[in-house]
Amino acid sequence: MSDINHGAERRLRNALLRLGTDHPVCCGCGETNPHCLERHHIAGQAFGDETAIFCRNCHRKLSDAQKDHPVPLLSEPGSLEQIGRFLLGLADLLLLVVEKLKQFGAHLIGLAPTEQPAGQGGWP
């Protein structure tokens, strides 16, 4: 095995270990290349350990949205602030997914004129 292949395999293995799964997928857009994926702290890194996998583009959008969250109240956040920040982060995540669903739905409607009528190989 060449050093090039060995290096690529090592980088892939490290990326999968970093992501914590052998089959990572961006929760926002469906990207599957592990080298393009990162873990996003849903509540923000300072407020919780819960993460979800996103590509770098989707991660940047979510991290930017967190900049509009309220400023931290205390140097050591209490449980109510942590839960509140998790809910804000989850809302940001869901807004990203909703936008992708709208785009996908519009794309499918755009393809509709080319499909077979129902009952002729299409959906009933």
| pLDDT reported for residue 123 | 58
| pLDDT reported for residue 3 | 61
The pLDDT tens digits for 56-93 are 999 999 999 999 999 998 888 999 999 999 999 999 99
Asked whether the predicted pLDDT for residue 122 surpasses 60, the reply is: no
pTM (2 d.p.): 0.78
Closest CA to 59 of 42, 75, 78, 35: 42
The pLDDT tens digits for 9-41 are 999 999 999 999 999 999 999 999 999 999 999
Per-residue confidence at 121, pLDDT binned at 50, 70, 90? low
| pLDDT reported for residue 101 | 93
Using CB atoms within 10 Å of the CB of residue 81, give its burial: 0 to 12 exposed, 13 to 18 middle, 19+ buried: middle
Closest CA to 69 of 101, 100, 49, 93: 93
Distance CA 69, CA 47 (A): 12
The pLDDT tens digits for 45-55 are 999 999 999 99
